[in-house]
Amino acid sequence: MDRDRSPWTGGHGVYVTGVGYSDIARDSGRTEGALAVEAARRAIADAGLDRNDIDGMTMFPVRSNPPVAFQGPSLDYVQRSLGLNRLRLQMPVGSGAGQLQAVLAAYYALAAGQADHVVVYRSHLRQARRFLPFAAESRAAFDEDAFTAPYGGTGGAARLAMWAQRHMYEYGTTQEQMGAVSVLCRAHASTNPRAVWQTPVTLDEYMASRWVAEPFKLLDCDYPVDGAVALVLSRQGPATDTRAPVRVECTGHGTGPDTSWLQWRDYTEMGSRYAAEDLWSKTALKPTDVDVAELYDGFTWLTICWLEDLGFVQKGEGGPYFEAGNGYVSSPGLSICTDGGQLGVGRLHGFGKVAQAVNQLRGEAGANQHPGAEVALASAGGGPGGAAVLLTTNR
Amino acid sequence: MSGTTDHVDQPAESPWLTTPTVLDERMLPALTTESEAYWTGLDRGALVLDRCTECARVTFPPVGGCSFCGAATLEPYEAPLRGEVYSYTVCHLAFGTGMETPYVVAVVAPEGSPEARIATNVVECRVDEVSIGMQVEMFVVNGESQSLLFARPPANGSLGDAATPQEVTDGP
């Protein structure tokens, strides 16, 4: 960090005790509220808890009124549907450091002693209107979108394509190297029964896929689905002692020096750089200690950038790393996007990253299990904001 | 393998990027107290930015303070209508904005204040002529209800020496 900061004194007694996925489908015909409630019920049951144990809730993001398609169900809806009558924490979390900020908020609250068991979730629909910054009936653009939407430069693909383009320009990252991330994720997805994509892709198929926003092709973009993931974070280990406890070693918050997509100084790095600095400043563990990295893959290039910014490789070496065939569960070393990621499972918007990291540390990742995984990292976010969570088996 | 980046959905000749004459079909900005000077500046063909009276850097989009040094005092600064493409993307989907595809979104670093990154469309050239580092001149199209800024290759093919962007050494 470029300035003195207070030393991290956070608790080391926070665990991920429950993981719940809703059914995941391209078109479920269900509401985001129903998906969230299904995921939350499964997460609470997975933790061996019931509704009376839950005293906290967080979600990503904050929901406006009227809501837009991106925002998912309200916290109130999910709380009432689950009959959570004993909350001491009820906090939607948005903006800044991205999706996992809601997980970080749950962690902070638990470390501070405000709650014992917190349900945190993300739910959204496939979102045909995903790329509209605001409701379809409005043609007005607000905030930074006012300066990009009039030029068709709004939405994740168009914005982040410019970041990827600059990375290619400065470091020589190639289309094929981004394609290698797509091929990796689809390979892992093909052996994950939960994944929407059950078929692998070849680099040729990737290269033949149509452009979306250059340098992003269709297969650089994660797959929009209806789905929700809920987690239970607790101040103590799992209620049953039959599985390995999964402890939060530390978290990384990254909003960087500026939150503007336009004014961000260096498009070859993201909020991921600052999330990484925060994360590694709080632990004795190092990138070489990590067995599994569930890196964000909303677009292939994001995975390359996270890999670099987290210090797994030097800046500019992310593309060649994937092109060389690294990251597979079946190959030696670090395993990456082991569930098939959002490119293969579908867009679970960062929460699938934490869920799969937990699956790995519990030894419950099935055919995609990294043998003996003890340290797993989950990250989410693209552009100025990012957040990461480092988990261990506490052994 | 060493594939090539074929533009599979493009004709053999790279598409020409036309300057739009109608802007009202687009998503248009909601003006704020802080952004009004920028948008009304465009109405008269000027690029009016907020420059910090303390550190002389430009914060864009405008937010009423200096995002670099935190100073509260800004002054209007009329930037030259020249700059360099910092990055760009060729969009083949319109993302709900009603744009005709393909179109090029670029982020331009204006001459003299490259820390200000202005989003615009590059027009009046072929798609495959757009590149990072490309020198552009900016110009305004006055739509029925809103003026927008566009960028194109300079008429004489060069902006001259003065167009070399200056490096900001103590940015964020």
Condensed to tens digits (0 to 9), the pLDDT of residues B76-90 reads 999 999 999 999 999
pLDDT the model gives residue B120: 98
| Parts of chain B with a pLDDT under 50 | 1-4, 161-172
Q: What is the 3-state secondary structure (H, E, C) of chain A?
A: CCCCCCCCCCCCCCEEEEEEECCCECCCCCCHHHHHHHHHHHHHHHCCCCHHHCCEEEECCCCCCCCCHHHCCCHHHHHHHHCCCCCCEEEECCCCCCCCHHHHHHHHHHHHCCCCEEEEEEEECCCCCCCCCCCCCCCEECHHHHHCHHHCCCCHHHHHHHHHHHHHHHHCCCHHHHHHHHHHHHHHHCCCCCCCCCCCCCHHHHHHCCEEECCEEHHHECCCCEEEEEEEEECCCCCCCCCCCCEEEEEEEECCCCCCCCCCCCCCCCHHHHHHHHHHCCCCCCHHHCCEEECCCCEHHHHHHHHHHCCCCCCCCHHHHHHCCCECCCCCCCEECCCCHHHHCCCCCCHHHHHHHHHHHHCCCHHHCCCCCCEEEEEECCCCCEEEEEEECCC
Least CB-CB distance to A165: which of B96, B102, B132?
B132
Condensed to tens digits (0 to 9), the pLDDT of residues A82-128 reads 999 999 999 999 878 999 999 999 999 999 999 999 999 999 888 65
User: Which of these ranges, A63-72, A243-252, B93-102, has the smallest mean pLDDT?
Assistant: A63-72
CB–CB of A302/A160 below 8 Å?
Answer: yes
Q: Which comes out higher in pLDDT, residue A70 or B160?
A: A70
Instruction: Tell me the nearest-neighbour CA distance from B137 into chain A, angstroms.
Output: 17
Interface test with A, best of B91, B104, B144 (most A CBs within 10 A): B91
pLDDT the model gives residue B155: 85
Contact B87 A267 (CB under 8 A): yes
Q: Which two tokens stand for residue B21?
A: 């004459």
Chain A neighbors of B4, CB-CB under 8 A = 207
CB–CB of A35/A356 below 8 Å?
Answer: no
pLDDT at A129 over 80: no
Q: Which two tokens stand for residue B61?
A: 């989009």
Chain B neighbors of A214, CB-CB under 8 A = 89-92
Give residue A296's pLDDT band: very low, low, confident or very high (50, 70, 90): very high
The one-letter code for the residue type at A82 is L
Alpha carbon distance, N-terminus to C-terminus of chain B: 39
Condensed to tens digits (0 to 9), the pLDDT of residues A335-364 reads 999 999 999 999 999 999 999 999 999 999
pLDDT the model gives residue A132: 45
For residue B67, the SS3 value is coil
Least CB-CB distance to A149: which of B3, B27, B171?
B27
pLDDT the model gives residue A130: 45
- Residues 6 or more apart whose Cβ sits within 8 Å of residue A90: A56, A57, A58, A75, A79
Chain B neighbors of A136, CB-CB under 8 A = 96
Question: How far apart (Å, rounded) are the C-alpha atoms in residues A61 and A123?
Answer: 10
Chain A neighbors of B2, CB-CB under 8 A = 176
User: Which of these ranges, A2-6, A54-58, B50-54, has the smallest mean pLDDT?
Assistant: A2-6
Contact A157 B119 (CB under 8 A): no
Condensed to tens digits (0 to 9), the pLDDT of residues A168-182 reads 999 999 999 999 999
pLDDT the model gives residue B170: 40
Going by C-alpha positions, the residue among A388, A374, A376, A326 that lies closest to residue A187 is: A326
Count of A-B CB contacts under 8 Å = 163
Please indicate if any CB of chain B lies within 8 Å of the CB of A211. yes
pLDDT the model gives residue B162: 45
CB–CB of A75/A118 below 8 Å?
Answer: no
Instruction: Tell me the nearest-neighbour CA distance from B160 into chain A, angstroms.
Output: 23
Give residue A226's pLDDT band: very low, low, confident or very high (50, 70, 90): very high
* pTM of this structure: 0.93
Instruction: Tell me the nearest-neighbour CA distance from B28 into chain A, angstroms.
Output: 5
Q: Which comes out higher in pLDDT, residue B8 or A183?
A: A183
Backbone phi, psi, residue A299, to 5°: -140, 150
Q: In percent, how much of chain A has pLDDT > 70?
A: 93
pLDDT the model gives residue A241: 61
Please indicate if any CB of chain B lies within 8 Å of the CB of A62. no
Please indicate if any CB of chain B lies within 8 Å of the CB of A144. yes
